[in-house]
């Protein structure tokens, strides 16, 4: 089966995950973490991406970021991956692949999901059993977003800035969102959209993205009576726009 092209739309945030091959460790000690953090910082600046949230885990990492040029995320991931693999291979005298194939990503509706995705990312180490609280984990954006710790990797999204009139108000409001119980249904929805490269948003948002990029943003409906008019209407609603826009591009 041909791989689906990734969504590339400047100004829209995406959730990105890159795993180690066979879930093997990619980060073994503090030096490795700093090298990956540094490469991400360099790449974000070079390829015009704002990183709003992140977590670096022993065998994978998550990013929530907004690209400002069409292929910004792809170039950021390629640059980071290439130079971090060189570091790992040189330091540990190894060869071969480090990554589990291509990175996975979903473009998302920021109004509906930006803060929820940020919270999902920053509680990753808690769900993995590495720490009891997100503020106990050193390698995430939680200290920056929730506690005001300086982190050169982080560029706050306008929706984060709207949480308060000053930094302390924003941090307090952001911390309070973590009082909510884990939303396992949303977690599964986010994982599915990320793994399958679908857009994360409601019907209106997905339709808008489909129009902008001239490609399907959601999976086709499954099951049902294929002879029914309701089924055919659902199929048409999820299909590609009928008139291609030759100026649109995706990667």
Q: What is the pLDDT along the chain (251 residues), one digit of tens a residue?
A: 455 667 889 999 999 999 999 889 999 999 999 999 999 999 999 999 999 999 999 999 999 999 999 999 999 999 999 999 999 999 999 988 899 989 999 999 999 999 999 999 999 999 999 999 999 999 999 999 999 999 999 999 999 999 999 999 999 999 999 998 989 999 999 999 999 999 999 999 999 999 988 878 888 766 544 444 544 554 444 443 433 333 333 33
Instruction: Specify the pLDDT at position 21.
Output: 93
What CATH number was assigned to the domain covering residues 14-202?
A: 3.30.70.1290
Instruction: Specify the pLDDT at position 223.
Output: 55
Inter-axis angle of helices 30-46 and 72-92, to 10 degrees? 150
CB 130, CB 60: distance < 8 Å:
no
Instruction: Specify the pLDDT at position 249.
Output: 32
Instruction: Specify the pLDDT at position 222.
Output: 63
Q: What are the Cα distances from residue 208, in Å, to 16, 68, 193? A: 21, 18, 17
Residues paired with residue 36 on neighbouring β-strands, in sequence order: none
Instruction: Specify the pLDDT at position 219.
Output: 81
Burial of 3 (0-12, 13-18, 19+ CB in 10 A): exposed
Domain residue extents for the chain: 14-202
CB 166, CB 93: distance < 8 Å:
no
Burial of 29 (0-12, 13-18, 19+ CB in 10 A): exposed
Instruction: Specify the pLDDT at position 4.
Output: 62
Instruction: Specify the pLDDT at position 42.
Output: 98
Instruction: Write out pLDDT tens, residues 59-113.
Output: 999 999 999 999 999 999 999 999 999 999 999 999 888 999 899 999 999 999 9
Non-local CB neighbours of 3 within 8 Å, separated by 6+ positions? 102
Instruction: Specify the pLDDT at position 191.
Output: 96
Instruction: Specify the pLDDT at position 2.
Output: 52
Instruction: Specify the pLDDT at position 26.
Output: 96
Query: Phi, psi (5° rounding) for residue 162?
Result: -75, -5
């Amino acid at each position: 089966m041909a791989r689906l092209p990734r969504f590339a739309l400047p100004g829209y945030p995406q959730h990105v995950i890159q795993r180690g091959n066979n879930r093997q460790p990619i980060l073994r000690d503090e030096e490795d973490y700093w090298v990956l953090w540094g490469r991400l910082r360099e790449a974000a600046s070079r390829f015009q991406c704002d990183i709003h949230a992140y977590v670096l885990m022993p065998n994978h990492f998550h990013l929530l970021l907004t690209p400002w040029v069409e292929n910004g995320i792809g170039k950021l991931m390629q640059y980071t991956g290439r130079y971090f693999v060189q570091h790992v291979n040189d330091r540990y005298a190894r060869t071969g692949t480090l990554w589990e194939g291509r990175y996975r990503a979903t473009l998302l509706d920021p109004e509906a999901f930006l803060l929820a995705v940020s919270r999902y990312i920053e509680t990753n180490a808690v769900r993995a059993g590495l720490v009891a609280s997100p503020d106990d984990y050193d390698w995430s954006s939680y200290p920056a977003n929730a506690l005001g710790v300086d982190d050169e990797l982080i560029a706050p999204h306008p929706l984060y800035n709207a949480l308060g009139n000053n930094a302390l108000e924003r941090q307090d409001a952001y911390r309070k969102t973590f009082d909510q119980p884990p939303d396992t249904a949303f977690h599964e929805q986010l994982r599915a959209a990320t793994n399958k490269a679908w857009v994360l948003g409601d019907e209106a948002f997905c339709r808008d993205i489909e129009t902008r990029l001239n490609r399907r943003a959601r999976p086709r409906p499954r099951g049902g009576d294929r002879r029914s008019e309701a089924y055919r209407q659902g199929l048409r609603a999820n299909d590609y726009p009928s008139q291609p826009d030759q100026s649109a591009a995706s990667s």
